[in-house]
């Protein structure tokens, strides 16, 4: 059974639907007790950094997620979910979960492309990537974001994307997996990625 952190704002219907299609049982999580019952956690990305972290703190999920992650429970962060794994973000004042060392920055004004980075872009998976099993090394995924993570430990980067600059679009460290794009909105490739997560 997979638990989805429910913020009460935005589209988590699609991720539920995607897990459902994989035949996975889903539990909506807005309380730490429920977190203990699931084998895996999905931290979806909805809204802004501070709002997300404030919600996690208010519901005591902030510490609970950290605890479960330390115990080795697989956790998938999507979009803002990935960003919240890190220590801090230019988008807000709150501290992130700090599961991964590094910070989150906005696309620099100097890049000549529109921001938000919105649409289908190529992800180049590294050979160390487990989440991309059976997905071509260069594949398109759907992105919708203005901020990106800069991991301190480059070894955790398992996929990159270029948009004016090259950034880490996939990070994997043991049980912690983050993707900057939306697998639940990325047709076939996204579906395989979610299936891979369910096998971890």
Partner 1 sequence: MLTKRIIPCLDVKNGKVVKGIHFENLKDAGDPVIQAKYYSDEGADELVFLDISATIEKRKTIKNLVRDVASNISIPFTVGGGIGSIKDILILLENGADKVSINTCAIKNPDIIYNGAKMFGSQCIVIAIDAKRIAKKTWQVYIESGKIPTGIDVKNWAKKVEELGAGEILLTSIDADGTMNGYDIELMRCITKIVKIPVIASGGAGKLQHLYDVLTLGNASAVLLASLLHYRMLTIKDIKNFLFRKKIPVRLEKNENTCS
Shortest Å distance, C-beta 83 to partner 1: 11
Catalytic (active site) residue 18: no
Q: Does 106 sit near partner 1 (CB under 8 A)?
A: no
| Complex with partner 1: residue 17 or 128, whichever CB lies closer | 17
Q: Does 140 sit near partner 1 (CB under 8 A)?
A: yes
Q: Single out the residue of 41, 42, 43, 46 in contact with partner 1 (rule: CB under 8 A).
A: 46
Q: Does 163 sit near partner 1 (CB under 8 A)?
A: yes
Catalytic (active site) residue 117: no
Ramachandran area for residue 6 (φ above 0: left; ψ -120 to 50: alpha; else beta): beta
Token pair for 105? 């920055």
Catalytic (active site) residue 182: yes
Separation of alpha carbons 192 and 200, rounded Å: 13
Which residue's entry shows tokens 């999507």? 78
Separation of alpha carbons 125 and 140, rounded Å: 11
Q: Does 127 sit near partner 1 (CB under 8 A)?
A: no
Structural element, H or E, at residue 188? helix 187-199
Q: Does 145 sit near partner 1 (CB under 8 A)?
A: yes
Tell me which stretch binds partner 1 (CB under 8 A): 65-73, 93-101, 123-131, 138-146: 138-146
**Of these residues, 79, 91, 117, 145, which one is catalytic?**
79
Q: Going edge to edge, which strands form the sheet with 26-29?
A: 26-29, 2-5, 40-43, 75-78, 176-179, 165-173, 157-163, 117-125, 138-145
Q: Does 125 sit near partner 1 (CB under 8 A)?
A: no
| Complex with partner 1: residue 71 or 108, whichever CB lies closer | 108
| Complex with partner 1: residue 73 or 145, whichever CB lies closer | 145
Q: Going edge to edge, which strands form the sheet with 102-106?
A: 88-89, 102-106, 147-151
Planar angle of CA 139, 77, 182, nearest 5 degrees: 40
Q: Does 162 sit near partner 1 (CB under 8 A)?
A: yes
User: Which spans of this chain sit near partner 1 (rule: CB under 8 A)?
Assistant: 9-11, 13-14, 17-18, 21, 46-48, 51, 80, 109, 113-122, 139-140, 142-146, 162-163, 182, 184-192
The catalytic site residues sit at 79, 182, 184
């Amino acid at each position: 059974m997979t638990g989805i952190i429910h913020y009460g704002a935005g589209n988590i219907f699609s991720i539920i639907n995607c897990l459902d299609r994989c035949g996975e049982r889903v539990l909506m999580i807005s309380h730490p007790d429920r977190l203990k019952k699931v084998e895996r956690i999905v931290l979806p990305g909805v809204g802004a950094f501070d709002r997300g972290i404030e919600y996690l703190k208010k519901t005591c999920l902030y510490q609970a997620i950290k605890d479960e992650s330390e115990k080795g429970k697989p956790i998938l962060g999507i979009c803002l979910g990935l960003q919240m794994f890190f220590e801090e973000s230019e988008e807000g004042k709150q501290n992130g979960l700090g599961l991964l060392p590094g910070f989150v920055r906005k696309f620099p004004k100097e890049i000549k492309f529109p921001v938000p980075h919105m649409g289908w872009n190529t992800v180049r998976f590294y050979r160390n990537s487990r989440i991309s099993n059976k997905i071509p090394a260069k594949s398109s995924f759907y992105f919708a974001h203005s901020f990106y993570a800069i991991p301190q430990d480059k070894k955790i980067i398992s996929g990159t994307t270029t948009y004016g600059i090259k950034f880490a679009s996939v990070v994997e460290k043991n049980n912690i997996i983050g993707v900057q794009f939306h697998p639940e909105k990325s047709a076939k490739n996204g579906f395989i990625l979610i299936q891979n997560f369910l096998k971890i």
